[in-house]
Amino acid sequence: MKRHLLEAADLDRDDATLVLDTAAQIEQALAGREVKKLPTLRGRTVVNLFYEDSTRTRISFELAAKRLSADVINFSAKGSSVSKGESLKDTALTLEAMGADGVVVRHSASGAPHRLANWVRGSVVNAGDGTHEHPTQALLDAYTIRHRLGRLEGVRVTIVGDVLHSRVARSNVRLLHTLGAEVTLVAPPTLLPVGVGAWPAEVGYDLDAVLPKSDVVMMLRVQAERMNASFFPSAREYSRRYGLDARRMGALPDDAIVMHPGPMNRGMEIAAEVADSVRSTIVEQVANGVSTRMAVLYLLLGGAPQ
Amino acid sequence: MARTSQPALLSSADVARIIDRIAHQLIERAATVRPGSDGLADLVLVGIPTRGAPLARRLAARIEAFSGVTVDVGTVDITLYRDDLRLRGVRALESTLLPDGGIDGRLVVLVDDVLFSGRSVRAALDALRDLGRPQAVQLAVLVDRGHRELPIRADYVGKNVPTSRAQQVRVHLAETDGVDEVVVEEPGERQEVSIAARPASEERSDRGADQGGRA
């Protein structure tokens, strides 16, 4: 494994499989026990550096680090020196001086974790950078698919929605391709990035045509905060063409699953009855996120300092 | 190959006899502790991966053959409890599986292939503490090679083998290596062996043996 986890492409097939296997063993080892804590990272410090709002990712990383007995420092841009104008580099040097072994970073600028990786000695884990990547989300999604369907090789995954702004989609396309799954992207043409043709994925515009051939449907959140241009005429029209409702769910093969990275806009990209159905893995994804992030932290920070 | 230059310390038949003997010792102990009743029902054999796990299963099978009682078997992976991760780097994890009902109030017998520094056993004891509160914990090993670095001893020992620290004790089992045998390798032979075509998993075979804390 590389020292940092900045994007899904940092993981080759063996590395990615090792993370998933490690996560599975951790989940099994902790299942049903009273003390859900392992001494593995005792004395290590993990800094959660969050320049962008996040609930589940930050809490998930925090819980993962704590369950491995690491010391966790939460740093959010609001209420810190960042609001006084401190630069990313100066913040990084401060963390470095405090001896952070691992830095989990979320930033609104694509590429910020890459810059950070050059400034600190510890391992950097990208927890979402702008519209670029969110590799641990892709890992937990892959883990969830493997857990539910028993395999990843040849699994047909359809990712639907705002691919243009989605770091989840970018990381998932890369990682799922690495692991042998077949990915199809479905979105309005306005919400597909330039150069999507070069991605290792099929591209389609008609959700109804793709659903019967999907083992997994991954719905992306319509990111209202990034909808700064007229990407689609109205929420209702988007929902009608690209939303997953009960009728569309009925078109899926029998054992197909429905995923969503959260937070959901119920009634927009996903209907409430779909989100709460037995096919939905949305709650499972959150639980798997902790095991997967424990695996990542163990593999990056558990060994000898480099 | 090392095993041609050095005769095996224990042959396949030796390993089988040792397992039979320890199985009898466990049955005997159960009978002594609770005469008349079935002390074996309290017993859980917990193997330390990699090679402790098949050893625990074999012990359970022999106990069943001799006494007719089915004994619970589990495994506990100690990787996340090791004190040498920082020295040796991370490793892939193996499974931790305990019988339904857990280990609370039961007699846990840890099973490992080689007892050396005692650090694996310490890690296993730490892991057990997080998994429950056994009534007592005992230790069964196939080979005790000495050189303890912690105050730990085994309750059931297959064979005591005086070794030098530089030597390697390698346990091979049919389940993991295709053959049952224990060999002692001299320091010089080790290199030759590691270069020869051996399965990748071989690196782990001396897990029990290379606990010496030597980098």
Instruction: Among A22, A26, A39, select the one facing B81 at the smallest CB separation.
Output: A39
Q: A135-282: same fold as A8-133+286-301?
A: yes
**What is the dotted CATH code of the domain comprising A135-282?**
3.40.50.1370
Residues in chain A with CB shorter than 8 Å from the CB of B87 are 304
Task: Indicate yes or no: CB of A302 within 8 angstroms of CB of B130.
Answer: no
A97 touches chain B (CB under 8 A): no
Tell me: pLDDT of A78 over 90.
no
pLDDT value at residue B198: 39
Q: What is the pLDDT of residues B81-90, one digit of tens each?
A: 998 888 888 8
Domain ranges within chain A, ordered by starting residue: 8-133+286-301, 135-282
CA distances from B80 to A58, A68, A180, A298, B96 (A): 23, 9, 29, 8, 11
Per-residue DSSP letter, B51: T
Q: What is the pLDDT of residues A210-242, one digit of tens each?
A: 999 999 999 999 988 777 778 888 889 999 999
Tell me: pLDDT of A306 over 70.
no
pLDDT value at residue B32: 80
- Which residue, among A17, A299, A300, would best test binding to B if mutated, counting the most B CBs under 10 Å from its CB? A299
pLDDT value at residue B191: 47
pLDDT value at residue B37: 57
Q: What is the pLDDT of residues A264-297, one digit of tens each?
A: 999 999 999 999 999 999 999 999 999 999 999 9
Q: What's the whole-number average pLDDT of chain A? A: 93
Its pTM stands at: 0.89
pLDDT value at residue A95: 85
| Record: fold of A8-133+286-301 | Rossmann fold (3.40.50)
Q: What is the pLDDT of residues A252-267, one digit of tens each?
A: 999 999 999 989 999 9
Architecture of domain B11-162: 3-Layer(aba) Sandwich (3.40)
pLDDT value at residue B35: 62
pLDDT value at residue B38: 67
Q: How far is A12 from chain B (nearest CA, A)?
A: 16
User: What confidence tier does A117 reach under pLDDT thresholds 50, 70, 90?
Assistant: very high
Could you say which residues of chain B have pLDDT below 70?
A: 1-6, 34-38, 189-215
| Beta-bridge partner residues of A49 | A75, A105
Q: How far is B1 from chain A (nearest CA, A)?
A: 30
Residues in chain B with CB shorter than 8 Å from the CB of A35 are 130
ipTM score of complex: 0.83
pLDDT value at residue B44: 95
Tell me: pLDDT of A125 over 90.
yes
Task: Indicate yes or no: CB of B96 within 8 angstroms of CB of A35.
Answer: no
Q: What is the pLDDT of residues A153-195, one digit of tens each?
A: 999 999 999 999 999 999 999 999 999 999 999 999 999 999 9
Task: Indicate yes or no: CB of B85 within 8 angstroms of CB of A25.
Answer: no
